[in-house]
Amino acid sequence: MLEPKKSDNLPLSGAVALVTGGSRGIGLAIAHRLTKLGASVCICGRDENHLKAAAAELGRDGAKILAVPADVSEASDIRALVDRANRELGPIEILVNNAGTYRSGPFHQLSEADWDTVLDTNLKSVFLVSSIVAPSMIERKRGHIINISSLAGKNAFAGGGIYCASKWGLQGLTACMAEDLRAYGIRVASICPGTVATDFSPHIGRDTSKMLQADDVAHAVESLLMQAPQSFISGIDIRPTQKP
């Protein structure tokens, strides 16, 4: 764990956030945004080298950082992750379910293993992590759960069968989570970006400068966290101003 270099009176000072898939791409951009707002941040991922590099990078923001290797499709890994975050940082107030993966191709040419990998990472993990984190939020009667979904959760396209299924499912899960938790003062929302210029998926023949950037998603996360106390935004769609 990297200790903070300074303490600032920032909007999220004292808050603890967990960002799954936080070692690169969108997750890393979100973690940066949260640290700059004053939160202590735990990131997790499967690649220890990426995690170490991300933790060192985030530590330069002056925040308290915890980087934990974990497979968020495994309940035992999640329990160990959450226990460690609670012990070393404090109760999780902000959960960003960002971990994701992608498989493309005509549905009839993909395998059962492809289905399991995508659905376990993109959908099952959100159920598992949220169900383990939520009881503490319920007890404290506050919290934010933000699920990073996709416009693929609303729009079909050729070759996207498994990925779209995972994101359509995530949209339904998010809406039901919001209804289950709103009475406890916990806000649940999804963010649905279009294609983002990261290494998550290929962008051959597209102008990446016109595409959404990871920080655009981080900005949406900040917007959800800075809402007025008597209401909540249940979802945000993000598109680029120009088609790449």
Q: Provide the annotated active-site residues.
A: 163
Q: Give the span between the Cα atoms of 175 and 42, in whole angstroms.
A: 25
Q: Give the span between the Cα atoms of 122 and 97, in whole angstroms.
A: 9
- Token pair recorded at residue 11: 């909007």
State the Rg of the chain over Cα. 17
Q: Give the span between the Cα atoms of 242 and 46, in whole angstroms.
A: 34
Q: Give the span between the Cα atoms of 123 and 120, in whole angstroms.
A: 6
- Token pair recorded at residue 12: 């999220």
Q: Give the span between the Cα atoms of 129 and 95, in whole angstroms.
A: 9
Helical packing angle, 214-225 and 25-36, nearest 10°: 40
